[in-house]
Amino acid sequence: MKRYESARENERFAVKRSSVGLGLFARQPIRRGKLVVEYTGELLPAEEAYRRGGRYLFEVNSRWIVDGVGRQNISRYINHSCRPNCEPRTRGMRILIYALRDIRAGEELTYNYGKEYFDELIRPVGCKCAHCARRRLTSGTRTRRRR
């Protein structure tokens, strides 16, 4: 069954270079509100997960965390964005990623990693999401109207 799921995911997604490293890209259009993918990995008590550490820890609730470090978790390649096209939702002990809007084929999948992750790991080096990169480009240039 895992081979079938992997083959199916290979049809739906591509892991490619993005502006921040590797990213997950849609190979097919995804409609707003549709389930995109599940964030999978080892379900750990929060205490154990924080003891281990890592960048792929995803809180299910205050007591449980999914460690999505394994490469079989294709959703680990979804990058942060301040203007995301996806959002994670917890259902029981599962983390499901849904489309916030229609997503075009070839578009990178993104969601907001949350304030804690952002403050600890992204803010110190500067956000490199497409939205922030565009803002940096346009804030540095002034357009003047010619008379």
| pLDDT, tens digit (0-9, with 9 covering 90-100), for 1-35 | 344 445 667 789 999 999 888 999 999 999 999 99
**Is 142 inside any structural domain?**
no
Residue 57 β-bridge partners:
67
Cα separation, 99 vs 86, in Å, equals 4
Report the predicted TM-score, pTM, of the whole model to 2 decimal places. 0.84
Residue pair 87/118 in contact (Cβ under 8 Å)? The answer is no
- Please indicate whether residue 135 or residue 83 has the higher confidence score (pLDDT): 83
Q: Among 92, 88, 97, which residue's Cα sits nearest to residue 64?
A: 92
- Tokens representing residue 108 in the block: 């990178």
Q: What percent of the chain has pLDDT over 90?
A: 66
The amino acid that residue 82 corresponds to is C
> For position 6, what pLDDT does the model report?
59
Q: How confident is the model at residue 55 (pLDDT cuts 50, 70, 90)?
A: confident
**Is 125 inside any structural domain?**
yes
Query: In whole angstroms, how far apart are CA 106 and each of 23, 30, 38, 109?
Result: 11, 11, 19, 9
74-80: average pLDDT: 96
**Is 146 inside any structural domain?**
no
Q: How many distinct structural domains can be found in the chain? A: 1
> For position 2, what pLDDT does the model report?
42
User: Which residues span the domain enclosing 91?
Assistant: 2-137
**Is 147 inside any structural domain?**
no
**Is 109 inside any structural domain?**
yes
- Please indicate whether residue 137 or residue 87 has the higher confidence score (pLDDT): 87
| Alpha-carbon torsion angle 69, 71, 72, 78, nearest 10 | 80
**Is 84 inside any structural domain?**
yes
Residue pair 36/110 in contact (Cβ under 8 Å)? The answer is no
CATH of the domain at 49: 2.170.270.10
**Is 97 inside any structural domain?**
yes
Using DSSP's 3-state secondary structure scheme, residue 143 falls into coil
